[in-house]
Amino acid sequence: MSHKLNIVADAHIWGVESAFSELGGFNAKLTILENRDITRQALHDTDILLTRSSTKVNAELLQGTPVKFAATATIGDDHYDKQWLDDNGIVWANAAGSSTGSVIEYMITSLLHLHVNGLINIPETTIGIIGVGRIGSALAKVCEAVGMKALLNDPPRARSEGQDAFSTLDELLDKADIISLHTPMIREGEDATAHLINQQQLNRFKGIGLFNAARGGCVDNAALLHWLDGDVSRFAALDCWEFEPSPMIELLQHPQMVIATPHIAGHSLDGKAANTLYVHQALCRFLGLDAEWDMQARLPLSPSSVDIDYSDEVWLSLYRAANTLYPLLDDHDSMKGWAECTATELAHAFSGYRRHYPVRRSWKLSPVHFDTEDAKLLQLADAFGIKIV
């Protein structure tokens, strides 16, 4: 006899119905809701809760409900009160690692955009990477492969592995030309990251550029605005914003906000599918089942190769390839187009763009063709993860 299992899931989890409507050995009832409808009352007979980042999973939501497993189909999990969940015997999971490739593609396209527009020179740039987990480690590997110097800051890893491979935050602020954040949001304690980059840190920073593809509140956005105002050579590239989905309009409007995107760096179709796969696997482990959902069967066929106009300027050719695979400026132009919106309109536009994000496939599935055998181009393309045919 199969056991009854009531599941409530966010409607915007990719492939949610195919992944969670059938679980071997259980009579699964899947209820798919919009985020605004995931309330304590809606969970009165729910065993399993599956969310995205808009749902705060805490005592206010779950107290008195029968929920015994909760998972978020996102990398970040600061919207989960993990201590309360642990204290109340509720197993939780996230999709950490699922979107690593997608975020790296965002960073590479951004760096190439800055290079061809004269804001940085990639081989001569020192990047300070704050947070050296899956994404930070992968980014460091790519940057070093294309001639950049990478300084790594990760206090927990430095304590456990030794200081030799890591730099302090002060060293990054002194030596890095650009800084890129890839940390979780930690609000208190020794390794707190809330406002990790604040007015004091920015006053010390000797470099010219700041990226945030981590969590919006890791950077004090008011301080960032002030820092940009202090020197026209400075720039920022933000995918994550404080106060999402209502970022500071003054910061969005700033002419030195050179890349502005609405938290979509991890939103490749393959990344979103992997989010669902990770959650499916975590739920199956919790239930003692073999994970049998076939993600690849649900994805469309891989795109065919694309021809890229070759330029004698290697970096421009690489940028053309990256921008063809990931039209980053489409996202940037869309968000910059909201700069005259009211705060309410901006919030709706920000959330709506994320929910209805255009299909973007992983680079490894989208080979490109250059009409050249330029050895340097092919070597750098390989380092960037661009597949050449």
Positions marked catalytic = 215, 244, 263
Q: Which CATH number fits domain 3-94: 3.40.50.150, 1.10.10.10, 3.40.50.720, 3.40.50.1820?
A: 3.40.50.720
The whole-angstrom separation of Cα 329 and Cα 168 is 33
Please write the tens of the pLDDT for every residue from 335-351: 999 999 999 999 999 99
pLDDT of residue 364: 87
**CA quadruple 204, 208, 213, 215: dihedral positive or negative?**
positive
Question: What confidence category does residue 2 fall into, taking pLDDT thresholds of 50, 70 and 90?
Answer: low
DSSP 373: -
Please write the tens of the pLDDT for every residue from 274-299: 999 999 999 999 999 999 999 989 99
Cβ atoms of 240 and 216 within 8 Å: the answer is: yes
Q: Provide the residue type at 140 as one letter.
A: A
Task: Quote the crossing angle between the two packed helices 343-355 and 328-336, to the nearest 10°.
Answer: 160
The single residue listed with the structure tokens 């956005």 is 221
Ordered by start, the domain boundaries in the chain are 3-94, 100-266+308-384
pLDDT of residue 1: 45
Query: Higher confidence at residue 123 or residue 364?
Result: 123
Q: How many degrees, rounded to 5, is the angle at CA 59 between CA 54 and CA 63?
A: 115
The strands making up 69-72's β-sheet, listed across from edge to edge, are: 26-33, 3-10, 48-51, 69-72, 91-93
pLDDT for 198 beyond 50: yes
- CATH 3.40.605.10 given to domain 100-266+308-384: no
The single residue listed with the structure tokens 């990931």 is 326
Give the three-state DSSP class for 254: coil
Give the rounded percent of residues in the chain with a pLDDT score beyond 90: 87
DSSP 2: P
Q: Is the peptide bond before 303 cis (omega within 30 degrees of 0)?
A: no
Taking only Cα atoms into account, the Rg of the chain, rounded to an integer number of angstroms, comes to: 22
Mean pLDDT, residues 29-42 taken together: 96
The single residue listed with the structure tokens 């106009």 is 309
Query: Higher confidence at residue 237 or residue 365?
Result: 237
pLDDT of residue 258: 98
- Averaged pLDDT score across all residues of the chain: 95
Equal fold, 3-94 vs 100-266+308-384: yes
Mean pLDDT, residues 194-199 taken together: 98
Whole-model pTM?
Answer: 0.91
pLDDT of residue 371: 84
The whole-angstrom separation of Cα 223 and Cα 24 is 52
**Start-end of H helices in 162-209:** 169-175, 199-204
Question: What confidence category does residue 261 fall into, taking pLDDT thresholds of 50, 70 and 90?
Answer: very high
